[in-house]
Amino acid sequence: MTTHTTRMLIIGSGPAGLSAAIYGARAGLKPIVVQGLQPGGQLTITTDVENYPGFRDVVQGPWLMEEMQAQAEHVGTRMMWDTITSVDLKSWPFRAIGDGGDIYEGETLVIATGAQAKWLGVPGEQELSGKGVSACATCDGFFYRGKKVVVIGGGNTAVEEALYMTNHSDDVTLIHRRDSLRCEKILEDRLMANPKIKVLWNKAVDHFVGGDTGLTGVSLRDTVSGEASVEPTQGAFVAIGHAPSTELFKDQLEADATGYLIVEPGTPKTAIPGVFACGDVMDHVYRQAVTAAGTGCMAALDAERFLAAREHRQARD
Ligand code: NDP
């Protein structure tokens, strides 16, 4: 059991956490990043990234995160292969405990724990998870090569996953509970133009059908007529959005009704001076890698100012 101390403790290693680390390290704060269960965050389970500025050609999500981590380390960040299981924000320096018992103490804390895929919560989903039901086409799509698959949802993620699955299958069905998508127009155009994809509109998933041998279909209900039907499939990808990872901070920081951490508008400042939140854990509106990186940068700049003001006060008193 070791105690690690730093001027800037960062929990989470997606674009928000690593951008905070790059700025914090360059400001001489010797940041520690505790990587968490999914080092690199959500971009590590995606493939093509076409909208992160700076790259003329398509880049791969995992590659982009490796580069970001290498950049953070190059300027002096310490990366810790650990997952935080509890935090104490009541005393200063702030304290966090890793799952192996290591203690992390930070004079400032940057929360960049991101968000995780949501599940439908219908019967059969949990039981058939890993046996045909998945929340990540780019992770598991390969296993469904040549099979009929469905993707559930109507946002960017669902449409991207449906398009991605056409690399593996000629029979992809997008199932959406309404009659219009909420994804970007460019993605909708690609979806509609792809002959391997059909869309089932106004259909909600009632339950997943299958047994020991795996998924055999999804039971649907028409959201307009109420009519029931079954769509046979061996693979179903749930792509209905994300929920912020804020369990660690329950009772210590304020969150909104959907669980996102509340910050002072236009800043990454939480109600506790010295504790900052950036990226998807506090942003339910934009949720992009580039906006996460931007708020990570803001958190580092504010952390630096917090420390400078504190030192100024100490010198004066
Ligand atoms: P969104 O919240 O944008 O979309 C979720 C979709 O799932 C909606 O169509 C919603 O339906 C549907 N849905 C939600 N709950 C249920 C339910 N219980 N049953 C059935 N359907 C449900 O999430 P995304 O993950 O698609 O996107 C999140 C954010 O990340 C967005 O800001 C998006 O732009 C961004 N993103 C950007 C990408 C890119 O730029 N390349 C790639 C992926 C994501 P309804 O429409 O009826 O509400």
Distance 156 CA to ligand 1 centre (A): 6
**Residue 181, CA distances (Å) to 139, 155, 202, 237, 304 in order:** 24, 6, 11, 17, 42
**Both tokens assigned to 71:** 């950049």
Is the CB–ligand 1 distance for residue 284 below 6 Å?
A: no
Task: Determine the residue of 182, 200, 221, 281 to mutate for testing ligand 1's pocket, defined as the one with the most ligand atoms within 8 A of the Cβ atom.
Answer: 182
Residue type at 209? V
pLDDT of residue 167: 96
Per-residue confidence in pLDDT tens, the chain, 317 aa: 899 999 999 999 999 999 999 999 999 999 999 999 999 998 887 777 888 999 999 999 999 999 999 999 999 999 999 999 999 999 999 999 999 999 999 999 999 999 988 999 999 999 999 899 999 888 788 889 999 999 999 999 899 999 999 999 999 999 999 999 999 999 999 999 999 999 999 999 999 999 999 999 999 999 999 999 999 999 999 999 889 999 999 999 999 998 999 999 999 999 999 999 999 999 988 888 999 999 999 999 999 999 999 999 999 98
Residues with a catalytic annotation lie at 136, 139-140
The strand pair at 172-175 and 197-200 is best described as: parallel
Provide the angle, in degrees to the nearest 10, between the axes of the packed helices 289-316 and 15-26: 40
pTM of the model: 0.79
Distance 283 CA to ligand 1 centre (A): 14
Distance 94 CA to ligand 1 centre (A): 35
Q: Which residues pair with 289 in a beta bridge?
A: none
